[in-house]
Chain A
């Protein structure tokens, strides 16, 4: 079964607005990662948050993790047209760390 599930499935916003994507997972994790995928490209790692961390920032990205609710959120502030992509959360299933499970992704479209 799918470990990570993103919400919403698709999001359309205007340039300059903030975009928030949520991810829920089912089992205990060591860390949670967010990746971006531009159309026709491979995934690019954005940020990793460990299970003992609650919040992490990287540039215009802010990630939160709530292990009690088994959920995470990715906030992109002051979005740009170049942020248009699919965003995936990824977790390590409880199998020793070699099995990363990706959610179905949120498709973000930023209108200029």
Chain B
């Protein structure tokens, strides 16, 4: 059983297009995240949601819009894609109870913008 799943796994698109990445977790967690990993493997947090509420927006351009329809889902929509958006995007989830617990990561979505 997949704990955190992402679709699609690969996404190749042209500059200027709009695309979405979906994430679902079946762990009963209350917190979900989006991370961007660049070509140098540096992993940076973009957003975190707790109980469907946006908690962290780490100075991400407005072209990126996350949406959490329920606690098990966190989707990422990207408008007007740019070359610099090419990266691997990871979704993660955790259970937050005052003290942080470990995060469970999805397999990643490799986005290539041409």
Chain A residues in contact with chain B, CB under 8 A? Answer: 2, 30-31, 33, 35, 37, 40-45, 48, 50, 86, 88, 90, 92, 95-102, 104-105, 107
Q: Is B76 positioned at the interface, with any CB of A under 8 Å from its CB? A: no
Chain A binding surface SS class: strand
Given the known interface contacts A41-B108, A43-B90, the answer about A100 and B100 at a Cβ–Cβ threshold of 8 Å is yes
Question: Which size class do B's interface residues fall under?
Answer: 20 to 34
A100 partner, pick from B4, B103, B108, beta carbons under 8 A: B103
**CB-CB < 8 A to B92: which residues of A?**
42-43
Chain B residues in contact with chain A, CB under 8 A? Answer: 4, 31, 33, 35, 40-45, 48, 50, 55-56, 58, 90, 92, 96, 98-108
15 sample A-B contacts, Cβ–Cβ < 8 Å, listed by A number: A2-B42, A37-B41, A41-B107, A43-B90, A48-B102, A50-B99, A88-B43, A97-B100, A98-B48, A99-B45, A99-B58, A102-B35, A102-B43, A104-B40, A105-B43
CA separation between A37 and B31, bound complex, in Å? 21
Do A31 and B100 touch across chains, with their CB atoms under 8 A apart? yes
Residue in B35, B48, B102 whose Cβ sees the most chain A Cβ within 10 Å: B102
Do B90 and A42 touch across chains, with their CB atoms under 8 A apart? yes
A86 partner, pick from B41, B100, B102, beta carbons under 8 A: B41
The 5 closest A-B pairs by CB, nearest first: A42-B105, A45-B102, A102-B43, A98-B55, A43-B105
Give A6 Cβ to nearest chain B Cβ, in Å.
11
